[in-house]
């Protein structure tokens, strides 16, 4: 009888281990997304004219420096609607992954931190809780000058609030974009 009990306990233990293993075919979508190795900021003026500024980093976060960082050029005292797009490039094929991050909007937020220039930025898109995300925003530079904008995508699972600062959570993206205002 003790032998049968030991065998049954052994089988239950094995089933318990199998039942607790991580299913890699269905990763936790809240914390996983494809590598982001191209970022595009599209500046649109009222009236239809638009300009795109790109950043490309073939190996993604860390590793080698980006291979392309466009300098943002804009006019002072002119309003812009800015759309941010994220891509994963694998084997030369670009796939936009913005919708993945948008679907996880309650755990993500973009920050645009100016240095050496003055710009008013208002994020216009919201997550399911009504908190800002940053894929869509309105920008207006107040004076001519040269500086940069630090672009940060913060991952904030269970931390995001309506007025969080740019250091809450951990950074999925953090890159400085040179900026010239005329």
Summarised one tens digit per residue, pLDDT across range 127-153 is 999 999 999 999 999 999 999 999 999
Average pLDDT over residues 20-32: 40
Of the given ranges (29-38, 54-63, 101-110, 130-139), which has the lowest mean pLDDT? 29-38
Determine the pLDDT at residue 16.
39
Identify the CA nearest to 152 among candidates 71, 56, 39, 34: 39
Question: What are 54's two structure tokens?
Answer: 């790109």
Determine the pLDDT at residue 2.
52
- Judge whether residue 11 has pLDDT over 70: no
DSSP 141-162: E-S-EEEEEEEEEEE-TTT--T
**Residue 18 — very low, low, confident or very high, per pLDDT cuts 50/70/90?**
very low
Determine the pLDDT at residue 32.
52
Please state, in angstroms and as integers, the Cα–Cα distance from residue 42 to each residue in 27, 70, 72, 133, following that order. 31, 12, 10, 16
């Amino acid at each position: 009888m003790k032998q049968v009990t030991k065998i049954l306990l052994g089988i239950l233990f094995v089933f318990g281990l199998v039942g607790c293993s991580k299913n890699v075919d269905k990763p936790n979508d809240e914390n996983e997304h494809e590598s982001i190795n191209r970022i595009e900021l599209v500046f649109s003026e009222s009236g239809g004219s638009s300009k795109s500024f790109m950043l490309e980093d073939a190996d993604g976060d860390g590793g080698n420096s980006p291979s392309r960082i466009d300098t943002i050029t804009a006019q002072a005292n002119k309003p812009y609607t800015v759309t941010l797009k994220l891509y994963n490039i694998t084997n030369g094929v670009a796939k936009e992954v913005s919708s993945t991050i948008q679907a996880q909007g309650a755990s993500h937020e973009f920050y645009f931190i100016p240095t050496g220039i003055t710009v008013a930025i208002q994020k216009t898109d919201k997550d399911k809780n009504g908190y800002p995300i940053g894929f869509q925003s309105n920008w207006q530079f107040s004076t001519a000058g040269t500086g940069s904008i630090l672009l940060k995508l913060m991952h904030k699972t269970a931390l995001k609030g309506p007025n969080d600062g740019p250091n809450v959570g951990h950074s999925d993206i953090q890159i400085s974009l040179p900026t010239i205002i005329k």
